Structure formats: C-alpha cells, structure tokens
C-alpha cells in the first residue's frame, strides 16, 4: 500500500472514530473491532486485569466500555466472575440485516432525490481507496473497514450519523458472519461495483435505481447463515 493511500485510510479511520475520544470510547472501539474481526472469537474470555494492563487504564473506563459492548450484544458480563465474547445468534443476524436494508433503502432514496453531489464525490473517493486496498490480500480488514465507512458516508449525507451508529450497534452478530465470508476476487469486484452503482444512481437522481442498487448490494438469501454455522459450529449459539 503506497503512502498516499495509507494516509487516506488513516484519515478515514480517524473520522470514523470521532476523535477526540474518552478512554472508555477508545477501549470500546478497539475491543469491538477485535471482536468483529474475530481476533477475539466467540466464546473468548476477557480478563479485566489483562485488559486494564493492555489499555493502561483503571477499572472505571474499562467497565464502561464492556457495558457498551454488552448493550451491543457482543459480550456477556458475569459480575465478580468473567466476561465472555458472545456466540453468534442467527436471529440477531437476521434482525440486523432487516434493519440495515430498511434504513439504507430510505437513505439512498432521499439522497437520490436531491442529487447529493458531496456524497457522490466522497463515496467515489472511498471506492478508490477500497480499489487500492483490494489488490493487497493482507489489507482485507482495512478493505472491510472502508466498506463500513462507505455506508457511513451515505448516512452522513443526510446528517443521520446517529442512525448509522444505531445500525452499527445492532450489527455485531451480522458483521461477524460477514467476516467469515471468503473474499475472492469476484466478491471484491462485486462489492466495488455495488458501491459504484449506488453513487451513480444518486448522482443521476434516479430514486428507483438507487433503491434497486442498495437492495442488490445488501441482499442475502434467507438461509445464508446456515453454511457458515455448519463450518464454524463453535462460533454460533
């Protein structure tokens, strides 16, 4: 990854995480990313003493971060005992998928209604970042982070950042299944083409095309989780 792309990615990451942040927010963001990336797999035990040492914080911000993760359904806290990363719940995956499609359909419809050239320009810049990352298989996690960032740009175009935060908070189980997917070249190409169709429809002020583009981009078959559960039984509840 060349320096200009790396700098742009770091800037995007900075914006995604809404600096400046409290210690609790920093811990929450880092632990959440480690859980979503499966670095901390379902069922993993989180020891507070080790976490406090890792993040060089007292128990208070650590407790606050873990409570937020519990609200997101990503950890289960057993008072005076232990904290475990939750196993993936297929029902919560389907609920998050429904919420995401419902909200993003309306978001792109409204963006297309007004054209939203700023979103189009910003969206295309993110697509180019993803395209640069796509050629380096070691950067898959960054590619996935930029995918999330692209969708955040859509919500931001309507000043609906809180709604995007809601989707993120409800999507932990869904995102972990998505990380189990094999991103072959054709899958990466499909993701990029989907993003391109979305911004093109917004730029053309074609509401129907924008809705169709986002629905195709986000579409999952009703039983799509089953194959992942069969391959990773220990990850699912």
Which of 31-64 are b and which e, b meaning 16 or more Cβ less than 10 Å from the residue's Cβ? bbeebbbbebbbeeebeeeebbeebebeeebbbb
pLDDT by residue (tens digit) across 140-163? 778 888 888 999 999 999 999 999
Predicted pLDDT at 134: 81
User: What is the dihedral sign for C-alpha 137, 17, 123, 172?
Assistant: positive
Contacts for 69 with CB less than 8 Å, ≥ 6 apart: 28, 31, 32, 35, 75
Mean pLDDT of 232-236: 95
Q: Is the peptide bond before 235 cis (omega within 30 degrees of 0)?
A: no
Closest by CA to 172, choosing from 10, 16, 12, 29, is 29
Structure tokens at 76: 């289960």
Mean pLDDT of 70-80: 93
Predicted pLDDT at 143: 83
pLDDT by residue (tens digit) across 199-222? 999 999 999 999 999 999 999 988
Predicted pLDDT at 5: 47
pLDDT by residue (tens digit) across 16-46? 444 567 899 999 999 999 999 899 999 999 9
Residue 72: CB atoms within 10 Å? 18
Contact of 44 with 187, CB cutoff 8 Å: no
Closest by CA to 225, choosing from 177, 159, 184, 176, is 177
Predicted pLDDT at 133: 85
Predicted pLDDT at 15: 53
Mean pLDDT of 156-173: 94
Predicted pLDDT at 187: 83
pLDDT over 50 at 4, yes or no: no
Domains and CATH numbers, the chain: 18-85 (1.10.10.10), 90-235 (1.20.120.530)
Which of 103-107, 143-147, 149-153, 223-227 has the least mean pLDDT? 143-147
State how beta strands 75-78 and 45-46 pair.
Answer: unpaired
Average pLDDT value over all residues in the chain: 89
**Cα–Cα distance for residue pair 8/196, rounded to 1 Å:** 19
Query: What percent of the chain has a predicted confidence (pLDDT) above 90?
Result: 70
Predicted pLDDT at 206: 97
Compute the residue count for the chain.
Answer: 237
């Amino acid at each position: 990854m060349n320096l200009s792309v790396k700098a742009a990615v770091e800037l995007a990451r900075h914006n995604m995480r809404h600096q400046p942040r409290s210690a609790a927010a920093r811990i929450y963001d880092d632990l959440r990313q480690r859980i979503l990336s499966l670095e901390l797999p379902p069922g993993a035990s989180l020891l507070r003493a080790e976490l406090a040492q890792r993040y060089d914080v007292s128990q208070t911000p650590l407790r606050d971060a873990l409570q937020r993760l519990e609200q997101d359904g990503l950890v289960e806290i057993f008072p005076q005992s232990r904290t475990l990363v939750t196993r993936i719940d297929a029902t919560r995956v389907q609920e998050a998928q429904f919420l995401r499609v419902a909200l993003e359909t309306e978001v792109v419809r409204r963006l297309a209604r007004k054209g939203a050239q700023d979103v189009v320009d910003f969206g295309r810049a993110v697509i180019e970042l993803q395209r640069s990352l796509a050629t380096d298989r070691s950067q898959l996690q960054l590619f996935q982070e930029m995918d999330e960032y692209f969708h955040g740009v859509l919500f931001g175009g309507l000043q609906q950042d809180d709604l995007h935060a809601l989707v993120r908070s409800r999507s932990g189980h869904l995102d972990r299944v998505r990380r189990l997917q094999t991103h072959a070249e054709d899958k990466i190409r499909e993701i990029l083409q989907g993003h391109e169709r979305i911004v093109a429809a917004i730029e053309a002020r074609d509401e129907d095309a924008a809705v169709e583009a986002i629905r195709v981009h986000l579409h999952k078959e009703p039983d799509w989780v089953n194959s992942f559960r069969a391959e990773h039984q220990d990850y699912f509840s």
